[in-house]
Chains A and B, each alone.
Chain A
């Protein structure tokens, strides 16, 4: 009975989720101040690269679609460093081989690849830290 219920769940839920707005390729702000991200991907046609403000401990990503997403370029502006620009080659150098979808963390040292989701507790801790710089 439990197995049947699980099978029904596995079939029905993805069908219901045909209208889901999926989230791909998160970029986490691991600094204590807000940052601004401009990113482009090969999957998003006519990508405008709209500047997106991300609060400490929060993230931004790509909306929609069912295919994995990799960024072609990421530009990050923060309050304490010069603008950091990562082109396709720089991202490839930071990204482990054979990883289908991007997942990045931006800290004071710059961008690094995350092999797994950060814990909610660690993100809450970052969000609670005071920002010591002039916020843009």
Chain B
């Protein structure tokens, strides 16, 4: 391991620690949702990808199919991490998967830690839901590999 990759690893670890409150919330909700699934005979699937724990095949307690990211936990209901996006309402982009978009939110959360959700809310309130920079930059990150950070 050279110096720069060791530093990258340390920065990654620091991000995961900084984002622990979000991750804990995601694990709590994922476990709760997953137990409802087990009771319904719908067994959740757990995997790892995009720097996060991915819990999929969750029952639809949210009211619609989709995904949500809490720090280093991504929850999927009615879609899988590899479900593709042909058009995004946030940017009009397409050709990327759900997990690539959610991976952008995990990066944002690792950098902002407990500030992520308040800043995400401010972004939605000031720009409108579909133009929230946290969503548009997660799209651009997924489509082109650019920074997921909205600045």
Listed in ascending order, the chain A residues whose CB lies under 8 Å from chain B are: 9, 13-14, 16-23, 27, 37-41, 43-55, 58-66
CA distance A133 to B130 in the complex (A): 40
Query: Within 8 Å CB of B143, what residues of A?
Result: 50
Listed in ascending order, the chain B residues whose CB lies under 8 Å from chain A are: 29, 61-68, 78-80, 82-90, 92-95, 98, 101-102, 117, 120, 124, 129-130, 135, 139, 143
New A-B pairs, 19, CB < 8 Å, besides A52-B86, A63-B88: A9-B61, A16-B62, A17-B64, A19-B68, A20-B68, A21-B98, A21-B101, A21-B102, A21-B135, A23-B67, A44-B88, A44-B89, A49-B94, A50-B95, A52-B94, A61-B83, A63-B101, A63-B139, A64-B130
| CB <8 Å contact, A40 and B62 | no
CA distance A20 to B102 in the complex (A): 10
Nearest CB to that of A16 among chain B residues?
Answer: B29
| CB <8 Å contact, A17 and B68 | yes
Nearest CB to that of B74 among chain A residues?
Answer: A21
| Nearest CB on B from A25, distance (A) | 9
State the main secondary structure of chain B at its contact with A: mixed
| CB <8 Å contact, B85 and A62 | yes
Query: Within 8 Å CB of B84, what residues of A?
Result: 52-54, 58-61
Query: Within 8 Å CB of B130, what residues of A?
Result: 64-65
